Every structure is written in C-alpha cells, then in structure tokens.
Amino acid sequence: MHVPKNIVVAVVVAGALAFAPRVSRAADSTLAVARDSTLTYSVVHKLHAVEGVCKLVEGKVRLLEGGGVQAMVRARIDCFDSGNGNRDAHMKETTEAEKFPYVEWKGIAEHVVLPAAAATALVTLEGQVSFHGVQQPIEVKVELSNKAEHLVAEAHLLLSLDAFRIERPSLLFVKIDDALKLDAHLVLSREK
C-alpha cells in the first residue's frame, strides 16, 4: 500500500534545525535530504497489517539568517514498496498516482533554538501536506539528533485517508482502517 509518507517532510525541517549549528547563519544555508532517509507507512485491516517503505525521499531545508527555517519534502507515491506487487499496484490506482504522483510537505518555523552538538531536541513544526490533490494543515513533533557527522530527524504521524479523499481499499468487503501511520527517518547533509 503506497500512502503519504512525505508528511515526513516536517521531519526534515526539524532535522535541519539540529544540524544548523554546523552551518553558518551569517547567510542563508541549505541542507538536503540524504540517501539514507526513509519514509515508512503502515495501515491496518481487520485481518492483517501492511507496511511500505520509500527510500527515494527528496527535500531541502533553508536555514535563514534570522533563525528561521523553510522546508519542503516530497516522495513519489509509486516509490513505496510493501513487498507485494499486486497490493502496490492497487494502491497506486487507489491514490491515483498517475494524476497525483507526489505526497509533499512544506513548512516554516521562526526563531528556532538549535540543540548543541551530540544533543537531542524535540521541535514542533507547522506545515501543510499535499496528497491526492488535497491540502491539509499538520502539526508535526520531530525529534532531532545532532550526530557528529550528520543530523537525524525522526517523526511519527497519524493521517486520515478519508481527509485526503482516498477510497480505502477493502478485503472481503471490509475496508482498511482510516488511520495511516507514517514514520520518518531523515538524514540531513549540507548541499554540495
């Protein structure tokens, strides 16, 4: 099942905040989502649970001179892999992936206090998710870990498929639950 994993975009924003101490704020700086990043969704049906992973997450975070942050993260709907080709094809059809190929998050934060090196911080970000042609506001809590060589942002979100006007798939005439859990693991690095 391919579901909106890019909501994890908020995670990238938060991740940028933790990494910021290594980047000069004398001028705007940009961080990029690195290859080791993943978005994982899970949905539940009465008979089983389904999990899908996307390893092709795109995104940028701008650290602004005054302490603000602008971020955008997105992923293609067709990149989520549940390990079952038939299920994934049905999810692409259900989410109209050809018409709405991306799930995307954009957000802005002002006056962010960054954690010190080797520290962890919890940041709340306000933003907007675009999925299946629908935009919804979202508040995301992100745990930022400022590692020696990289920044890691982790977030766990619950989304409503009904809110994004997605017809929930069914098995034996029973639809999957409305809740979609999205786990984001984002690694941020300075843009080259």
pLDDT tens digits for the chain (192 residues)?
443 433 333 334 444 443 444 444 446 788 889 989 999 999 888 878 889 999 999 998 887 888 777 888 899 999 999 999 988 998 889 899 999 999 998 888 776 665 567 778 777 788 999 999 999 999 888 887 887 677 888 888 889 999 999 998 787 888 888 999 989 999 988 765
Whole-angstrom distance, CA of residue 122 vs CA of residue 120: 7
Give, as one character, the DSSP assignment of residue 57.
-
**In this predicted model, what pLDDT tens digit does every residue of 92-113 receive, in sequence order?**
898 999 999 999 988 887 766 6
Percentage, residues of the chain above pLDDT 90: 33
Strand partners, 70: 62, 108
Exposure pattern of 163-173 as b/e (b: 16+ CB <10 Å)?
A: ebebebbeeee
58 within 8 A of 75, measured Cβ to Cβ:
yes
Cα–Cα distance, 44 to 36 (Å, whole number): 26
Domains and CATH numbers, the chain: 6-190 (2.40.128.110)
Q: Is the backbone of residue 104 left (phi > 0), alpha (psi -120 to 50) or beta? A: beta
Whether the predicted model's global pTM rises above the 0.85 cut: no
Helix intervals (H) in the chain:
9-19, 85-94
What tens digit of pLDDT does each residue of 8-40 get? 333 344 444 434 444 444 467 888 899 899 999
Query: Do residues 75 and 100 touch, judged by C-beta distance below 8 A?
Result: no
